[in-house]
């Protein structure tokens, strides 16, 4: 059974940094691209970033480009999102999601974690 467990969320001041983690199990982690998708309170879904299975290709939404960095450690089956220069509008539940196939990078979000809440406020 695929399991994705996010951690690292919390309260941070504007301009601060936070690193999210997503521990994966139940599948061959290195074979699948992974994404981060966020949802502001009471709002819709927003794709944030994706990384290929090998980690060699990364993709970002314009809203986070230059501030967020996605990475993965395939030896630890863990996905990361380093978030710098945080803004109030980054406040959201952050989900990690696994792609549907081994040959796509951000096309499908087949399995999701339970999410971790990031609150940016002074």
Residues contributing to the site for another protein (CB under 8 A): 35, 37, 44-47, 50, 59, 61-62, 95, 100, 106-110, 112-115
Distances (CA, A) of 115 to 10, 15, 93, 102, 104: 12, 22, 6, 23, 22
Cβ(100)–Cβ(107) under 8 Å? yes
Name the minimum Å distance from CB 73 to another protein: 23
Pick between residue 31 and residue 101 the one whose CB is nearest to another protein: 101
**Rg of the Cα atoms in the chain:** 13
Name the minimum Å distance from CB 107 to another protein: 4
Pick between residue 65 and residue 76 the one whose CB is nearest to another protein: 65
Name the minimum Å distance from CB 13 to another protein: 27
Name the minimum Å distance from CB 15 to another protein: 26
Pick between residue 80 and residue 106 the one whose CB is nearest to another protein: 106
Burial level of 58, CB count in 10 A (0-12/13-18/19+)? Answer: middle
Beta bridge partners of 20: 81
């Amino acid at each position: 059974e695929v399991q994705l467990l996010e951690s690292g969320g919390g309260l941070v001041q504007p301009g601060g940094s936070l690193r999210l983690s997503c521990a994966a199990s139940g599948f061959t982690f290195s074979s699948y691209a992974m994404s981060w998708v966020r949802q502001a309170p009471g709002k819709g879904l927003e794709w944030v970033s994706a990384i290929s299975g090998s980690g060699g290709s990364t993709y970002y939404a314009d809203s986070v480009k230059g501030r967020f960095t996605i990475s993965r450690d395939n030896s630890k089956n863990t996905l990361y999102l380093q978030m710098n220069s945080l803004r109030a509008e980054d406040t959201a539940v952050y989900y990690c999601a696994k792609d549907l196939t081994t040959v796509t990078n951000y096309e499908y979000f087949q399995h999701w974690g339970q999410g971790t809440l990031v609150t940016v406020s002074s």
